[in-house]
A and B are shown apart, each in its own frame.
Chain A
Amino acid sequence: GAVVSQHPSWVICKSGTSVKIECRSLDFQATTMFWYRQFPKQSLMLMATSNEGSKATYEQGVEKDKFLINHASLTLSTLTVTSAHPEDSSFYICSARGSGDTEAFFGQGTRLTVV
């Protein structure tokens, strides 16, 4: 299957700082990227969907000014958690899908801890 690389794998940051997570499709063009958050022992929760060159579509309850998503190229999407707080500590996972494809491929995930 196709490869999606997510970086960093884990990050610890201080409360009030911002953290950027990168998601790259290595061997295909990702026209659509999905960002998920997963709290311990809970299911994946879709945060937003982004199409290359367009503004991201955020799910209800997700603050777009706090979780900035950029999908400027067909191989890279970034999620920036701005002014992070301890309650933002979670497992963030991206997935990418190419044009005409049905399957989305997942990145390795990023475990964010805000202290």
Chain B
Amino acid sequence: GQNIDQPTEMTATEGAIVQINCTYQTSGFNGLFWYQQHAGEAPTFLSYNVLDGLEEKGRFSSFLSRSKGYSYLLLKELQMKDSASYLCAVIDSNYQLIWGAGTKLIIKP
């Protein structure tokens, strides 16, 4: 079956750095997304990786290793507004989006 694993919850301190991991086993791979979702709101796009390596976008970076079925989202200089759920999603060989359950990130002052 298809499976995406990410931690349920993480806690970090304002101003620090946090890395949220995502591992996947899917039938084929056509890219991996990271989305941010604040409580009661729809997800918003953060990043898309289809090739191995690190993609940097401001305070957020996303890394992909296709051979390991692994990705991480790195958040730097954490702000209180970064408290949210972070969803990892993979596009499989049928171009269907397979979603992880999300990681709830709690930022403490």
Contact = CB atoms under 8 A, between A and B. Distances in A.
A91 B40 contact: yes
B42 A102 contact: no
Interface stretch (B15-23, B56-64, B69-77, B95-103): B95-103
Contact of B43 (A6, A44, A49, A111): A44
A106 B43 contact: yes
User: What is the interface of chain B mostly: helix, strand, loop, or mixed?
Assistant: loop
Interface residues of B, number: 21
B72 to A, nearest CB: 19
Interface of B: 30-31, 33, 35, 40-45, 48, 50, 87, 91, 95-97, 99-102
B102 A106 contact: no
Contact of B42 (A42, A49, A107): A107
Contacts of A1: 45
A102 B41 contact: no
25 contacts: A1-B45, A6-B42, A43-B87, A43-B99, A43-B101, A43-B102, A44-B87, A44-B99, A46-B97, A49-B96, A91-B40, A93-B42, A102-B30, A102-B31, A102-B48, A102-B91, A102-B95, A103-B45, A104-B97, A105-B45, A106-B35, A106-B44, A106-B45, A108-B41, A108-B42
